[in-house]
């Protein structure tokens, strides 16, 4: 199992609004992917910081997810937002 955990760290309220706007579709598509075991992005008490927790069955399914995200509307609209993630095997 591959586990990604960490934070999206928005620099401005506008970046956080972008996350909020595009997140529902991103979550829906991610959760529907083969190999996705869990997928959660939630706003913390700091409105500029979002907690990210994902798990996938293996490296292959995680890599496919990363490729899809890079080419998605979510990926294009949030590309400049700081990602502070760790990836581990569980």
Tens digit of pLDDT for each residue in 29-71? 999 999 999 999 999 999 999 999 999 999 999 999 999 999 9
User: Residue 79 half-sphere exposure, CB side, CA atoms within 13 Å?
Assistant: 7
Structural domain boundaries in the chain: 2-89
Say how far apart CA 35 and CA 30 lie, in whole Å. 10
As a whole number of angstroms, the distance between CA 16 and CA 38 comes to: 22
pLDDT tens per residue across span 24-35 = 999 999 999 999
pLDDT of residue 58: 97
CA-based radius of gyration for the chain: 12
User: Does the structure show a pLDDT above 90 at 84?
Assistant: yes
Distance, CA of 61 to CA of 89 (rounded, Å): 13
User: E strands within the chain?
Assistant: 2-9, 36-43, 49-56, 82-89
Regarding the domain delimited by 2-89, which CATH topology (the fold level of the hierarchy) does it fall under? Alpha-Beta Plaits (3.30.70)
The confidence score (pLDDT) of residue 1 equals 97
The reported pTM is 0.92
């Amino acid at each position: 199992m591959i586990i990604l955990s960490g934070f999206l760290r928005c620099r401005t309220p506008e970046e956080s609004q972008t996350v909020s706007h595009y997140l529902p579709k991103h979550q829906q598509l991610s959760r529907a992917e083969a190999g996705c075991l869990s997928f959660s992005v939630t706003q913390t008490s700091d409105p500029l910081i979002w907690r990210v927790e994902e798990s996938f069955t293996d490296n292959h399914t995680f890599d496919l997810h990363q490729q899809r995200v890079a080419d998605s509307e979510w990926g294009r609209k949030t590309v400049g937002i700081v990602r502070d993630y760790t990836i581990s095997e569980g």
